[in-house]
Structure 1
Amino acid sequence: MTSTSEAAAPAHRPAGRPVRTPRLPKARVDPVTIITFFLIVLFVMPARYVVGPLGGAGSPSSMVAVLLLVWYLLSTLSPRWTPIRGKQPVRLVIVFLGLSVLASYIAATTRPLSADEVNAADLGLVLVAGWAGIALVTADGVNTMDRLETLRHRIVLGASFPAFIAMVQFFTGIEVTQYMALPGLVEKGSAVLFEREGFFRPSGTATHPIELGVVLAAVLPLALHGAIYCRIPEQRRKRWWMVALIAGTLPMSVSRSAILGLFVVLVVLLPTWPSEWRLRALLIGGAASILMRLMIPGLIGTVLNLISVIGSDENSTTRTGDYDAVVAAVSQRPLFGQGFATYLPRMYRVIDNQYLMSALETGLIGVGALLVFLATGWLLARGARRAAADEETRHLAQCFAASVAVAIFGFGTFDAFSFPMITNVMFLILGCCGALWRLQTQRPSL
């Protein structure tokens, strides 16, 4: 039997005309998924393996980051696909930083440059473009708190990989990353593990133990947030294991920058925690220290000794000895510096301080851009905390603020922009702070 609707259908459809199925709207490309691919490249692939002709800017993570900027800029050409909706301070920060680097590039062309400096200046522009892509895609592309939480979890999961590799390096003395190179990449740097006071200093998939330690310190508060607020018992256990892995590997870098970063995290987080959380944290921290003393005799003492001699050891006096040389060089080119990425250690000297390095390469304008970059991350996270309506979001905002605080102090202990993993992570965290601030202070676009 034919139904009435079926019988009536031919009367409303001209003979011979094909039936057209309604076209469904295309789904938007999820920025968090794209950033996840970037995180895999950043954390899993050893940073010292690069595309040969591109040098430092040829690391796979830097190339993916540049593609993020291209994708972001192309998206802005269409009103339908543009991620730019509402206020976003991160955009202004990136523009200011980019202009300061461009100004230093132009300033560099007014002085005689060696071939190495010219190449470094050109590749420096590529690096900054990638950093901009990471921050902008994250700040404008993450459109819900659920997706931001997913990104936070994936950052922690990604950082757990170099932490695991570093633990293997520490206990075995084997540089396992030499077996992780992809075909077509060349090695930039040494595959030999550093040593200090009889301990191997692992770097995981980062380029240096200091870089690894500061990255883990910056990610640790994000790992703590995920473990504290996880509501699924099976997942909660796994997340606490990631906290233990990151926190346990951190002192194995035998780096005072890492330990100072851990101290900064505690200073920022503990005052905002309930008293029972603080007590529990102190008890767990004390028990963990005792356990590490038993399992790795001498490590805790070595790390504490590194902290206690700050200012009087040879390493500290060498760094303070850089001040006179920096002041003399900056006084010659005070506003825009000698050119971003052109202060090459093999030609000049090693400067273990990003603030001093920025003064040399990008001048006082560049130092101002660096300070604005760091201060904006802190202020956006704190602003999101004040605007949040629930305790979990307030805690997440405070954890992002703690991550930024690690960079604020850590950048004073090494030339961070010379290391790809920590720089990419901090621009990603800036983007997360911008996304969190936007989601808490503005109504999300539909």
Structure 2
Amino acid sequence: MKSPMSLQFEKISIIIILITSQTIALHRIAFLDGNDLAVGILFIGFFMKIILRKEKYHFTLLDLLNLGFIGFVILSSINGGLGSLIKSLIAFKVAMLSFLFGNFICKKNVANHFIKWLTITVSISSVIAIIQEIIYIKTGYVLAGSLKEYEYSYLLEVKTFGRTVLRAPGFMVSFKVFSFLLITNMLIIFNRYLYSQFKDSKTKIYFFLGFCLMLIALILTFSKDSMIALFGGIVFSFIVKRPNRIIHILIGLLILGLGIYSVGLYKDIFNLISEEIRWGDVMMRIQVDKDGIYGFINNHFWIGQGFGKGWRYINNLYAWAAHNNIILAADEIGILGLCSYLLLIGYTVFSIFTLNLTVKNMEDKALVRGLFFSIIFLFFLFQTHSGYIDNVLWMYMGIIQGVVLLLGVRPSVKKEIEGMEGIELGNP
């Protein structure tokens, strides 16, 4: 069992990481930010604790895969040069982040502490996003912290109703990354409601208010694919919980479709969607992705162009890189790095999927299924994202690893492994 002092370190570390990851726009210096420094310091502190107190830890297959991935990112700097090598520090950072969360979340009370503070911090970020939108509507001022000029331009969008809106990012620099955190937390909360896992009505209201704030903030990001991901996650969560209701859902959708068609609304809906989708941007992204595929196949196939250098393959005025995580990974770290990247994600999805099949306790099942749909639809969102290494993605990899350690081994088969700590288990 962990000492109270040890658990206190882990709980405080979680709060620090959550806060600094959601306020990056307030503390950036050059290519570093407060979250980078926090993760690095806490990682050192965790190992000092291990050395001085002789505490044990978990080093899992996920961590081994992370080391392999780091190796391929560094290898790409042969073609990318010194700039690529410096930027590859982000791979070390996310690996440390994943390792820390894996070792923190494998304790039941720390896992509960994380869910609580994730909801608190993301709810506060949602309130900030709502305030940002109100200030922009009233004054035209973008209250978003320290942003670069091109980052500001990405936050503003002209809508079909003729008004420019702010795609509210909180203080996370990117509205897209903010939406990642919103939908994953909302799917965890939704599954808790679906399985009625609340201790009292006060806690239930607290999570409901948090969900509502996050939903408003998600709408204010004006991220269409994020809204689709949330809808898909909710629908599939409901179907998995009540598979006998799938026929009712299909019949309801059929009736709705026939109703829309019979009154002629389908033309108006199609025109509205067509006006909302910026087809020029869509075609540009398709061309960018095609250039990326052609570039990595015909140039640096094995080890890539270099981390952060994917834009070199693209013939584009704005120096865009591919807007698909798989294509961009292939462009920058080659087919070897891409395979390593997909192994990381595949291992994470497989781990939480197999745990989903075995877990029996309803509270545990709510958490596991919330995490399963979170990682699935997070990966879906990365198919239109101009990045493949991200704090939120690696944080959830670590969280899932921690939950697998917490719930995946039963007392009858639990074994002490040298260098690793025995885990606290949820109810069987």
Q: Which interval holds the TM-score relative to the shorter structure?
A: 0.7 to 0.9
Are the equivalent residues in 2 in contact too, given 1:169–1:176 (CA < 8 A)? no
| Of 68-77 and 147-156, the range deviating more from structure 2 | 68-77
**Equivalent residue, structure 2, for 1:195:** 157
Which of 360, 366, 375 is residue 346 of structure 2 equivalent to? 375
RMSD of the alignment, in Å?
Answer: 3.4
The structure-2 alpha-carbon separation of the partners of 1:102 and 1:70, relative to structure 1 and needing over 3 Å to count, comes to farther
Per-residue deviation, residues 316-346 of structure 1 (Å, max 9, x unmatched): 2111112332133212101111111233588
Per-residue deviation, residues 126-177 of structure 1 (Å, max 9, x unmatched): 2112111111011123342222122122112222222222222233416999
Which of 286, 299, 317 is residue 332 of structure 1 equivalent to? 299
Q: How many residues align?
A: 378
Matches within 5 A, 1:262-411: 262-274=230-242, 305=273, 313-330=279-296, 331-343=298-310, 348-411=319-382
Give the Cα–Cα distance (whole angstroms) in 2 for the partners of residues 101 and 41 of structure 1.
25
Helix, strand or coil for the counterpart of 2:384? coil
Which of 64, 69, 72 is residue 92 of structure 1 equivalent to? 64
Helix, strand or coil for the counterpart of 1:195? strand
Alignment-mate amino acid for residue 290 of structure 2: D
Are the equivalent residues in 1 in contact too, given 2:167–2:220 (CA < 8 A)? yes
Helix, strand or coil for the counterpart of 1:412? helix
**Equivalent residue, structure 1, for 2:219:** 251
1:101 aligns with 2:78: no
Shift of 1:122: 3.8
The structure-2 alpha-carbon separation of the partners of 1:363 and 1:136, relative to structure 1 and needing over 3 Å to count, comes to same
Matches within 5 A, 1:115-154: 118-119=82-83, 121-154=84-117
Helix, strand or coil for the counterpart of 2:88? helix
The structure-2 alpha-carbon separation of the partners of 1:350 and 1:107, relative to structure 1 and needing over 3 Å to count, comes to closer
Per-residue deviation, residues 396-445 of structure 1 (Å, max 9, x unmatched): 11110111012211111112347xxxx21221111111011111122434
Give the Cα–Cα distance (whole angstroms) in 2 for the partners of residues 281 and 35 of structure 1.
39
Are the equivalent residues in 2 in contact too, given 1:68–1:134 (CA < 8 A)? no
The structure-2 alpha-carbon separation of the partners of 1:70 and 1:257, relative to structure 1 and needing over 3 Å to count, comes to farther
Are the equivalent residues in 1 in contact too, given 2:321–2:328 (CA < 8 A)? no
TM-score by length of 1: 0.75
Shift of 1:68: 3.4
The structure-2 alpha-carbon separation of the partners of 1:93 and 1:167, relative to structure 1 and needing over 3 Å to count, comes to same
Which of 125, 128, 134 is residue 165 of structure 1 equivalent to? 128
Alignment-mate amino acid for residue 89 of structure 1: L
Where in structure 1 are there 5+ consecutive unaligned residues?
1-24, 110-117, 283-300
**Equivalent residue, structure 1, for 2:174:** 208
Give the Cα–Cα distance (whole angstroms) in 2 for the partners of residues 41 and 328 of structure 1.
38
Which of 385, 391, 415 is residue 386 of structure 2 equivalent to? 415
Give the Cα–Cα distance (whole angstroms) in 2 for the partners of residues 65 and 176 of structure 1.
35
Alignment-mate amino acid for residue 437 of structure 1: V
TM-score by length of 2: 0.77
Per-residue deviation, residues 231-250 of structure 1 (Å, max 9, x unmatched): 22112111101111112321
Give the Cα–Cα distance (whole angstroms) in 1 for the partners of residues 41 and 228 of structure 2.
34
Are the equivalent residues in 2 in contact too, given 1:32–1:151 (CA < 8 A)? yes
Per-residue deviation, residues 41-95 of structure 1 (Å, max 9, x unmatched): 112x2x334443x32xx111122122233344545556822312xx733212312
Are the equivalent residues in 2 in contact too, given 1:72–1:136 (CA < 8 A)? no
**Equivalent residue, structure 1, for 2:10:** 31
**Equivalent residue, structure 1, for 2:20:** 41
The structure-2 alpha-carbon separation of the partners of 1:139 and 1:372, relative to structure 1 and needing over 3 Å to count, comes to same
The structure-2 alpha-carbon separation of the partners of 1:142 and 1:211, relative to structure 1 and needing over 3 Å to count, comes to closer
Query: Between Structure 1 and Structure 2, whose CA radius of gyration is higher?
Result: 1
Give the Cα–Cα distance (whole angstroms) in 1 for the partners of residues 53 and 141 of structure 2.
44
Helix, strand or coil for the counterpart of 2:5? coil
Give the Cα–Cα distance (whole angstroms) in 2 for the partners of residues 220 and 151 of structure 1.
14
Give the Cα–Cα distance (whole angstroms) in 1 for the partners of residues 274 and 100 of structure 2.
39
**Equivalent residue, structure 2, for 1:8:** none
Shift of 1:32: 3.0
Are the equivalent residues in 2 in contact too, given 1:48–1:188 (CA < 8 A)? no
Are the equivalent residues in 2 in contact too, given 1:164–1:245 (CA < 8 A)? yes
Per-residue deviation, residues 348-399 of structure 1 (Å, max 9, x unmatched): 4342222221111111122222222222222222222223231221121111
The structure-2 alpha-carbon separation of the partners of 1:424 and 1:402, relative to structure 1 and needing over 3 Å to count, comes to same
Are the equivalent residues in 2 in contact too, given 1:50–1:187 (CA < 8 A)? no
Identical residues among aligned pairs (%)? 13
The structure-2 alpha-carbon separation of the partners of 1:250 and 1:347, relative to structure 1 and needing over 3 Å to count, comes to closer
The structure-2 alpha-carbon separation of the partners of 1:341 and 1:389, relative to structure 1 and needing over 3 Å to count, comes to same
Give the Cα–Cα distance (whole angstroms) in 1 for the partners of residues 277 and 388 of structure 2.
26
1:238 aligns with 2:206: yes
